Chain A
Amino acid sequence: MPTLTETEDRLRRALEAVASSVNDSGQPSDQAAAASEPSATQLAPGGLSGLRRRSPLLVFVASFLAVLAVGAISVLTMQTESDLEVGGPAGQAPISDPASGLGMDSTYFAFDDPSWTLTVAYTESDSSTYSRYERDDERVDIATGSFASEILDQRPERPETILTMNASQVTERSFFETGNSSEESSFNWTTSDGLPVLVTFLQMNPQQGLEASAALRPIDSEAWQQLAATAVHTTTPESELRARTGEFGTGGEEGFGEWIRLDAPDAPQVILEMSEGIELPPGQTFDRWIENLPDEPTSQTEDGIMSSLEFHAGCIWTGYWLEAVANKDTTAQAQAQAILDDIPTWPAMNASDGGGVIDAWRRNAELAAAGDVQGVLDNLYTNNCTDLRGMQ
């Protein structure tokens, strides 16, 4: 299997090759014909002029750590101690200076508290990092970028609701919402009261790390312990995630109603319950909508969901109408027409319509009533009904 770095490089080259088919005047370019015929030279590493590249340092780091990256993802996915090896995967050099938290093999977070030992440090090829510190029976995992996303994906609450630890003046959010001020160091983390946070991001140079570490202010041990405990215990199995959050929208664009976690395991059931009042053609379901539920942490209010379900149903009814026309089934056509006439009155879409949605459905009904099949199809393209189940 190609490494992530190789995949990234190949993706960059493919994108650049295709993009180079358009010259600076915006016209197809001879040199490239790239969209159709990327030459071997163009696609060879380093052979494409103007290719966007990462800084040499990042290229070096990414190359050096490509193997580690694969193992890192596995660690986060499997979440078992037995898969975690001090100092990284087998065959890698151990952390050189656990006392100061400075290592040789990777980028990582360091902090100036010798009671904690850095046991694992990985860098993903996208520069995301993952560090683990341990002390006695305590453990803290620190992650950024895609590693952080992986961890957050497993958490039951929306990030905004889980990351506050006012008592310690440290927000867990600090660990995940970072500003990277440069590619070499200095993730600018802050506590909830705006103070610089206690860890810093170090690159591979141990001397550089030592100097940076020496400059750090002492850790607030109490806050750090609390943070460590939270980081260890807040990773909740996906099975405990619930769609109904108990929080409610405040109107406006987000709508009213309870916030629903669309990526929760029970989200399909919740959606089905919500959709019970929306009529569909015979044999049709909201399965397609449910199949498209996101797998990343996503919340939406009940109002927003209902509006989307109504829209989806409108598309399906239009497909049913088109099918009835094609089959010369006048009974089904009349049944569909009655619904199409009613769609512009559907409550959730009316409530959320910022302009144009209801008008488009009204136009859809008029076109259908006039028997204008092409007009209905064109209108669908404008509306972008992506699922007309009855027409498949």
Chain B
Amino acid sequence: MGCNVLGGVAHLCLWMADEECDLTSDVRQSRLPDSLFDELYRDERAGLVRLALLVTGSRAAAEDVVQESFLRLRSTSAELTDPVRYLRRIVMNEARQVLRRREVERRYRTSDPGLVLPPELDEMWRLLAGLSEKRRVALVLRYYEDLPFSEIARLMDCPESTARSLVHRGLKSLRRRLDADFD
């Protein structure tokens, strides 16, 4: 299977953001104490905002994503074994939803909100924004989070070879586009 490509239950789960249809179910096993939640919020929030920012391209959207993710963590009655991984996965799912919603908005709003990209941002950042959602997410996880391919695959719900391919092709695509810009 690809990384949540083109439908199926997993894809619909991502779209619906439904508690009963949750891709994070595999990391739930032990209930989260309140004290741990507070600690997680204190320790993890900033890093998650950064991660969401890199995926969504918008700080406001990133903060919303992380806030929503913590709310979901707070409201879940499920038990968790690895709340940090659970959180990260929610954040990635929510951030990817933001990208997809933005695509819809771009189609139906007269004013195109697109990515909130200040013009002075690095060219690379602009090129990254132009990649497909999957390649962008894979590159962020690889080159910002420094995650091994096995973990990228888990977060993106795809085989490790696909994660490697996404990173590899994403990087090659950036390289080509950089070259085109030089020309």
Binding site for B on A (CB under 8 A): 1-4, 7-8, 10-26, 28, 35-38, 43, 52, 73, 126, 128, 145-146, 148-150, 152-153, 159, 176-177, 253-255, 262, 289, 292-301, 304-305, 307-309, 311-312, 322, 349, 352-357, 360, 377, 380-386, 388, 391-392
Given contacts A15-B140, A148-B161, contact A293 B6 (CB under 8 A): yes
Given contacts A26-B45, A37-B120, contact A354 B161 (CB under 8 A): no
The answer to whether A153 touches B50 (Cβ under 8 A) is no
Question: Closest 9 interchain pairs by CB?
Answer: A308-B7, A355-B20, A146-B168, A356-B18, A304-B8, A298-B2, A14-B124, A149-B165, A19-B50
The answer to whether A392 touches B107 (Cβ under 8 A) is yes
Q: With an 8 A cutoff between CB atoms, is B32 at the interface?
A: no
The answer to whether A300 touches B168 (Cβ under 8 A) is no
Which applies to chain B's interface (DSSP): helix, strand, loop or mixed? helix
A333 to B103, CA, bound (A): 24
The answer to whether A126 touches B167 (Cβ under 8 A) is yes
A149 to B161, CA, bound (A): 6
Q: List 18 A-B contacts (CB under 8 A).
A: A1-B176, A11-B143, A35-B59, A36-B121, A37-B120, A149-B161, A149-B165, A253-B8, A253-B10, A298-B1, A300-B6, A352-B12, A356-B18, A357-B15, A357-B21, A382-B17, A385-B104, A388-B104
Q: How far is the CB of A137 from chain B (nearest CB, A)?
A: 30
Q: Could you tell me which residues of chain B, from 85 to 100, have a CB within 8 Å of some CB in chain A?
A: 97, 100
Residues of chain B with a CB closer than 8 A to A145's CB: 149, 164, 168
Q: With an 8 A cutoff between CB atoms, is B40 at the interface?
A: no
Q: Could you tell me which residues of chain B, from 1 to 56, have a CB within 8 Å of some CB in chain A?
A: 1-2, 5-21, 45-46, 49-51, 53-54
Binding site for A on B (CB under 8 A): 1-2, 5-21, 45-46, 49-51, 53-54, 59, 62-63, 66, 97, 100-101, 103-105, 107-108, 118, 120-122, 124-125, 128, 139-140, 143-144, 146, 149, 159-162, 164-169, 171-172, 174-176, 178-179, 182
Q: How far is the CB of B78 from chain A (nearest CB, A)?
A: 14
Residues of chain A with a CB closer than 8 A to B14's CB: 384
The answer to whether B53 touches A18 (Cβ under 8 A) is yes
Besides A7-B171, A307-B8, 15 new A-B residue pairs in contact (Cβ under 8 A), listed by A number = A2-B178, A8-B171, A10-B178, A13-B122, A15-B140, A35-B53, A38-B120, A43-B122, A146-B167, A308-B7, A308-B11, A352-B9, A354-B12, A357-B15, A381-B104
A20 to B128, CA, bound (A): 17
Residues of chain A with a CB closer than 8 A to B8's CB: 253-255, 300-301, 304-305, 307-308, 352
A292 to B3, CA, bound (A): 13
A292 to B133, CA, bound (A): 12
Contact for A384 among B7, B100, B139, CB less than 8 A: B100
A335 to B46, CA, bound (A): 49
